[in-house]
Structure 1
Amino acid sequence: MALWQLRATVADRPGFLSVLTASLALRGVNILTVQVHTTEAGAVDDFLVDAPAELTADDLVAAVQRGRGRDCWVARCEAQGLADQPTRALGLASRLVRDPGALDESLRSLLGADSVTWRPVVAGPTGAERGSGAMRLPDPYGGSFEVHRAAPSFTPAEYARARALVELAGAVARRAVDPVTLVLSDGAELTVRPALPEDLPAVLAMHRRCSARSLRLRYPASGAATPGRLRRLLSPARGVALLACAGGADGQPERVVAMANLAAEGMLAELALLVEEGWQRRGLGGALSRRLVGYGTRAGYAALLAHTPAGNVGMLRILDRLSLPSTVDRDGELLTVTVSLHDRPAVAPPVPAPPPVELPTP
């Protein structure tokens, strides 16, 4: 006996699948697993079968066609194919939790793809191209993955599985920004960690404690942020949100005192900061910005953008002290600072004050 993978399109009508399975049974083919993909063209059925050793691929195609199946694809299968699709998908998800960088390899394994190529921009609509072995998936870091295989054509169900795997990798990568204890130059200690959706009440409370001036510098268009907007900032589709928190030890309640956001689109990511008044001019904004730069560099972004009023001297000083190549564009009172994450200078200029120290959080 030999293991084979079969794929065929069957009319989505009562009894047609049984005709196909009966035709295979007449040739001594034992069906081990079957999965049904619903498409506009009909039901696309994936079979894992155990067939007599003397049967060839042509014999199996002929049996499928006699069973009223069409667009048949046949390939030999190894023993690992005995694992069903949900089990394989869960195994790949578990691997991504341990290693988010293995996304391209996981996609290749999930889809049996010939190649997975990353592109810096999303060229054209994402999705599985109808009737072909081409698929485009948005990358949570920016850009897109292009997946190809010679045969069979991708189905909408396969695209949905791949998209779920990509979204999982993005969520894991955002949470993989390790929490640290940040020691400021004056000895104060804060915890810096990734934001969570349930942090919304604490972030709203921080915004209420901030002055109108600080809010206007952070949100120059409106001077404020709605709960809905803050909810999106805490869980960006692409990028990361960091919170600096005071307290949380010896039974003291944790209090959010600063928020740093990196929201990405394509190869660019927008950087923004809000620091509560009592914690300004203590090195906290610079420490958070450097942490976002590290995340952006690992994610492969080309540059970071910061939109800020011309009078926001503190933010401009923070960006300048990153010691990275940058350009400034002006539109009235609004400045857009573009910080390149490539071609860094070999020797950075001296920093006027010692930077805060980051210690691993136990």
Structure 2
Amino acid sequence: MTLWRIRATVDDRPGYLSVLTASLALSGVNILAVQVHTTERGAVDDFLVDAPDSLDEAGLVAAVERGRGRDCWVARSEARGLADQPTRVLGLAARLVRDPDATGEALRALLGADSVTWRPMPANAGPRFTPSGMLLADPGGGSYELRRAVPRFTPAEYARAQTLVELGATAARRAAERVNLVLPDGAEVQVRPATGEDLLGVVDLHERCSGRSRYRRYLGGSTTPAPARLRRLLEPARGVTLLATTTGSGEAVEPVVAMANLLAEGDVAEAALLVRDDWQRRGLGSNLLRRLVRHAERAGYAALVLHTQAENTPMLRTARRLERPAVVERDGSLVMLTVPLAVDVPTLGRAGS
């Protein structure tokens, strides 16, 4: 038996797919996997089949045509084709998370493209999609041009490819946002955007902080927030959360020594910090707050707001180190500082090909 890939178009009408599969079965073909791509010309059926060794390409095409299929494309497949499409896509996505520069290679593997080329021109400079070509917008700037003679590209493949490019750009941006920070006392930490996978590390951060530090961060109770609330802080709907971590500790979970949150509502973003007690008064909080300010400016927010207790001298000192004019309002024991921001134009690095 031999593995083949078959792609053919049939009328998108009830029963037509069963006619095609019955015709293949009469030729001794075992269908291992099938995908259906809806197009304006009809349903494009993509099969992975196991066919008798005596059945060649011409015989498979004839079986498809007897089953009312048209525009048939047939090619030998390999054992790796036995992995279903969702598994392959997830594998490519995992690869991009580890290596954002592999976007071009991932696109070639996903679609079997004859060529993948990154171009500096934006995707709106030409048609986004043709039967033999795609122009995919790169969120980092420019576009990817894909070519494949056969089989024809389908709208479903275009949507998958564009999603993969966007994932690669996100991974590249996150990698670029990782920085190694050397504090005035010589200690080194890595600062990076948080993800949902950091929940255990952030819970550990809270547990290693004193009740006083947690009280100052949350303007109230000193207990560790519930996991659901921490998840929302790690991946806010609008804004960003930065984590400072240490390396080389040998611990199973990367130790988180500080968390900086920027939570946006309207055109205003609120900043908050939590620094582990043994890492306070070392310049870490000031550095994280400056990074939140720059992020808020790039995102176009009009102002940054900080809420703190009047007795929280370290936080007030950290805010003053921004050396920016601020409006100070006091409500009993609480202080609100509003820092006007200059709107900046965001620039992102290009995802590699």
TM-score (norm 1): 0.58
Q: Is the 8 A contact 1:30 1:49 kept in 2?
A: yes
Q: Of 307, 315, 323, which residue of structure 2 is paired with 1:280? A: 323
Cα distance in 2 between the residues matched to 1:189 and 1:78: 48
Distance 1:36 1:194, change over 3 A: same
Cα distance in 1 between the residues matched to 2:5 and 2:49: 6
Residue in 1 aligned with 2:163? 164
Q: Could you tell me the percent identity over the aligned residues?
A: 58
Q: Is the 8 A contact 2:135 2:144 kept in 1?
A: yes
- 2:153 counterpart SS class: coil
Residue in 1 aligned with 2:141? 142
Stretch moving more, 155-164 or 102-111: 155-164
Q: Is the 8 A contact 1:96 1:169 kept in 2?
A: yes
Residue in 2 aligned with 1:260? 294
1:100 and 2:100 are equivalent in the alignment: yes
Cα distance in 2 between the residues matched to 1:2 and 1:53: 6
Cα deviation for residue 161 of structure 1 reads 1.0
- 2:236 counterpart SS class: helix
Aligned pair count reads 249
Q: Of 266, 276, 300, which residue of structure 2 is paired with 1:249? A: 276
Q: Is the 8 A contact 1:114 1:149 kept in 2?
A: yes
Distance 1:125 1:199, change over 3 A: same
Residue in 1 aligned with 2:70? 70
Residue in 2 aligned with 1:311? none
Residue in 1 aligned with 2:308? none
Unmatched segments (≥5 aa) in structure 2: 195-233, 242-263, 305-317, 325-345
Q: Is the 8 A contact 1:9 1:69 kept in 2?
A: yes
Cα distance in 1 between the residues matched to 2:115 and 2:94: 22
1:224-239 pair list within 5 angstroms: 227-229=265-267
TM-score (norm 2): 0.60
Letter in structure 2 aligned against 1:257: L
Cα distance in 1 between the residues matched to 2:116 and 2:16: 35
Q: Is the 8 A contact 2:9 2:42 kept in 1?
A: yes
Q: Is the 8 A contact 2:21 2:67 kept in 1?
A: yes
Cα distance in 2 between the residues matched to 1:98 and 1:188: 27
Residue in 2 aligned with 1:111? 111
Residues 164-191 of structure 1: per-residue CA shift (max 9 Å, x gap):
111111222222222443536x999998
Cα distance in 2 between the residues matched to 1:228 and 1:127: 36
Cα distance in 2 between the residues matched to 1:56 and 1:9: 20
Cα distance in 1 between the residues matched to 2:189 and 2:93: 33
Q: Is the 8 A contact 1:126 1:138 kept in 2?
A: no
Cα distance in 2 between the residues matched to 1:257 and 1:263: 13
Cα distance in 2 between the residues matched to 1:12 and 1:127: 26
- 1:4 counterpart SS class: strand
- 1:14 counterpart SS class: coil
Q: Is the 8 A contact 1:8 1:69 kept in 2?
A: yes
Distance 1:191 1:62, change over 3 A: closer
Cα distance in 2 between the residues matched to 1:62 and 1:261: 60
1:198 and 2:236 are equivalent in the alignment: yes
Q: Is the 8 A contact 1:23 1:67 kept in 2?
A: yes
Cα distance in 2 between the residues matched to 1:71 and 1:85: 22
Letter in structure 1 aligned against 2:26: L
